[in-house]
């Protein structure tokens, strides 16, 4: 297979492919040294308040800058990292880097943002998760209110009681929790009401056809209503068009995230975008 150079430093790209076992083994092999070789980086995608248009948070999304293959997206290596157990080291790096970056933005004078970090099943089941989160906060100096963890329904349903206890511990520390990809997993509605979470995230598969599919519109508006009845906030991911945004706003969705507003960006570009936003907001006041 042709080699690709890493020209697009840490940019998003996906590739539809069925990887052969050899290709997987090759990736797995590379994954082993990738952390030590500093081949991972984080991109940050803004989360926007649907009513005010204000950016209130960002989601950290990991990328692997592979020395031969260029930038590889998480869908290709997170499953391998999960299976091999390497997710623990990688997840810890993501958590620590995200906390440090957020603190650095605050120190640079940006309006404070909440940073969201994805936590995969093995990370969530790690008995040391709470301790690791506490250390990441302590070492970075980030206040817990500015950190959110995104977990999927499946993770919680594996061992409901234990998961709820762990979420409650994190919540008590001041960290927020949200359910990612909501509607695609298997959590029962009765379990949902016992989750100590603050936000439901509507999966992008339901957002894609808003304005075109009655079924998806019914699902999205029901999730919004359900979230609000449970006193949760609700965010839509994968918002790409004005039509989708219009539907979500009309149906009372609180927040959105997607290419319509911004792709995931390197830390510097995100800061520049927010600085520019702040300046624009301040100019009329000064004038």
* Binder of residue 148, out of ligand C2E, Mg ion, none (CB less than 5 to 8 A by kind): none
Q: Is 255 in the site for ligand C2E (CB under 6 A)?
A: no
Q: Is 183 in the site for ligand C2E (CB under 6 A)?
A: no
Backbone angles phi, psi at 202, to 5 degrees: -70, 125
Q: Which stretch binds Mg ion (CB under 5 A): 97-105, 176-184, 220-228, 262-270?
A: 176-184
CB half-sphere exposure, 160, CA atoms < 13 A? 11
**Residue 24 near residue 78 (C-beta atoms within 8 A):** no
| For ligand C2E, the closer CB: 179 or 278 | 179
Size of the site for Mg ion (CB under 5 A): 5
CB of 242 to ligand C2E, least distance (A): 13
Q: Which stretch binds Mg ion (CB under 5 A): 103-111, 121-129, 179-187, 263-271?
A: 179-187
CB half-sphere exposure, 14, CA atoms < 13 A? 4
Q: Is 256 in the site for ligand C2E (CB under 6 A)?
A: no
Q: Is 65 in the site for Mg ion (CB under 5 A)?
A: no
Distance CA 52, CA 61 (A): 25
**Residue 94 near residue 259 (C-beta atoms within 8 A):** no
Q: Is 45 in the site for ligand C2E (CB under 6 A)?
A: yes
Residues 112-131 binding Mg ion (CB under 5 A) are 118
**Residue 153 near residue 187 (C-beta atoms within 8 A):** yes
Residues 224-243 binding Mg ion (CB under 5 A) are 237
**Residue 64 near residue 27 (C-beta atoms within 8 A):** no
Angle value at C-alpha 45, between 54 and 150, nearest 5 degrees: 100
- In the block, tokens 């709820």 appear at 164
- In the block, tokens 């994190």 appear at 170
* Residue at shortest CB range from ligand C2E: 258
Distance of alpha carbon 243 from the chain centroid: 23
**Residue 228 near residue 234 (C-beta atoms within 8 A):** yes
| For Mg ion, the closer CB: 180 or 216 | 180
CB of 117 to ligand C2E, least distance (A): 6
Q: Is 39 in the site for ligand C2E (CB under 6 A)?
A: no
Instruction: Kindly give, in sequence order, each residue whose CB lies less than 8 Å from that of residue 74, ignoring residues fewer than 6 positions away.
Output: 61, 62, 63, 64
Q: Which stretch binds ligand C2E (CB under 6 A): 30-38, 46-54, 58-66, 222-230?
A: 58-66
| For Mg ion, the closer CB: 30 or 57 | 57
Interacting residue with ligand C2E among 27, 48, 55, 78 (CB under 6 A): 78
Q: Is 255 in the site for Mg ion (CB under 5 A)?
A: no
Nearest CA to 99 out of 113, 88, 111 is that of 113
> Contact residues for ligand C2E (CB under 6 A)?
12, 45, 60-62, 73-75, 78, 91, 94, 118-120, 150, 180-181, 204, 237-240, 258-259, 264
């Amino acid at each position: 297979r042709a080699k690709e150079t890493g020209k697009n430093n840490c940019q998003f790209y996906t590739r539809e492919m069925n990887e052969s076992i050899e290709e997987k083994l090759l990736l797995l092999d590379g994954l082993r040294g990738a952390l030590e070789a500093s081949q991972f980086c984080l991109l940050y995608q803004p989360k926007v308040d649907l009513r005010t248009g204000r950016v209130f948070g960002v989601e950290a999304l990991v990328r692997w800058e592979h020395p031969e293959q260029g930038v590889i997206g998480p869908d290709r290596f997170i499953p391998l990292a999960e299976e091999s157990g390497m997710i623990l080291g990688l997840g810890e790096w993501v958590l620590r880097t995200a906390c440090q970056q957020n603190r650095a933005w605050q120190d640079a004078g940006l309006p404070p943002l909440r940073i969201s970090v994805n936590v995969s099943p093995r990370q969530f089941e790690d008995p040391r998760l709470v301790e690791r989160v506490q250390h990441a906060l302590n070492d970075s100096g980030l206040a817990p209110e500015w950190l959110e963890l995104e977990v999927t329904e499946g993770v919680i349903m594996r061992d409901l009681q234990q998961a709820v206890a762990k979420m409650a511990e994190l919540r008590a520390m001041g960290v927020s929790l949200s359910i990612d990809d909501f509607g695609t997993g298997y959590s029962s509605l009765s379990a949902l009401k016992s989750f100590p979470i603050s936000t439901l995230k509507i999966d992008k598969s339901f957002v894609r056809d808003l304005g075109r599919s009655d079924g998806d519109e019914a699902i999205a508006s029901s999730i919004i209503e359900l979230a609000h009845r449970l006193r949760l906030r609700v965010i839509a991911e994968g918002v790409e068009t004005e039509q989708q945004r219009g539907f979500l706003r009309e149906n009372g969705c609180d927040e959105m995230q997607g290419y319509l507003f911004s792709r995931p960006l390197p830390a510097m570009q995100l800061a520049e975008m927010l600085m520019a936003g702040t300046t624009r907001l301040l100019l009329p006041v000064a004038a």
